[in-house]
Amino acid sequence: MTMAVLKKSRRYASDAIAAHVPLPISDTVRDRTPWSPPGQTCTVLPPPSVLDAPADPSVPLRITGLTKRYGDATALAGFDLVVPAGSCFGIVGPNGSGKTTTLRTIVGLVRPDAGRVEVHGVDAMADVVATRRLVGAVLDPLALFERLSARELLVTLGELRGIDARTLRSRAEELFAVLDLAGDADRQIAGYSHGMRKKTALAAALVHRPRLLLLDEPFEGVDPVSARTMRALLDRFRAGGGTVVLSSHVMDLVERMCDHLAVVHAGRVVMAGRTDHLRGERRLEDTFIELIGTLDERPAGAGDDGALSWLG
The tens digit of pLDDT for each residue in 58-71 reads 999 999 999 999 99
Smallest CA-to-CA distance from 80 within 65, 60, 102 is with: 65
Structural domains in the chain, sorted by start: 3-32+42-300 (3.40.50.300)
Question: What pLDDT does residue 56 have?
Answer: 85
Percent of all residues in the chain with a pLDDT value above 90, rounded to a whole number: 62
Kindly compute the dihedral angle of the four CA atoms of residues 33, 245, 131, 146, in this order, to the nearest 10 degrees.
-130
Mean pLDDT of 213-226: 91
Q: List Cα–Cα distances, 205 to 42, 56, 158, 259, 293, in angstroms.
A: 35, 24, 10, 22, 36
SS3 of the chain: helix, strand, coil, percent, to 5: 40, 20, 40
The tens digit of pLDDT for each residue in 178-192 reads 999 999 999 999 999
Banded pLDDT at 306 (limits 50, 70, 90): low
Q: Is the pLDDT of residue 44 over 50?
A: no
Q: List Cα–Cα distances, 201 to 176, 179, 195, 230, 283, in angstroms.
A: 11, 11, 10, 11, 31
Q: Is the pLDDT of residue 203 over 90?
A: yes
Question: What pLDDT does residue 41 have?
Answer: 39
Q: Are 247 and 217 in contact (CB under 8 A)?
A: yes
What backbone torsions phi and psi does residue 126 show, to the nearest 5 degrees? Answer: -85, -25
The tens digit of pLDDT for each residue in 68-117 reads 999 999 999 999 999 999 999 999 999 889 999 999 999 999 999 999 99
**Taking each helix axis from N to C terminus, what angle separates 165-178 and 150-160, rounded to the nearest 10 degrees?**
140
Question: What pLDDT does residue 27 have?
Answer: 30
C-alpha–C-alpha distance, residues 162 and 243, integer Å:
23
Banded pLDDT at 133 (limits 50, 70, 90): very high
Q: Name the average pLDDT for the chain.
A: 83
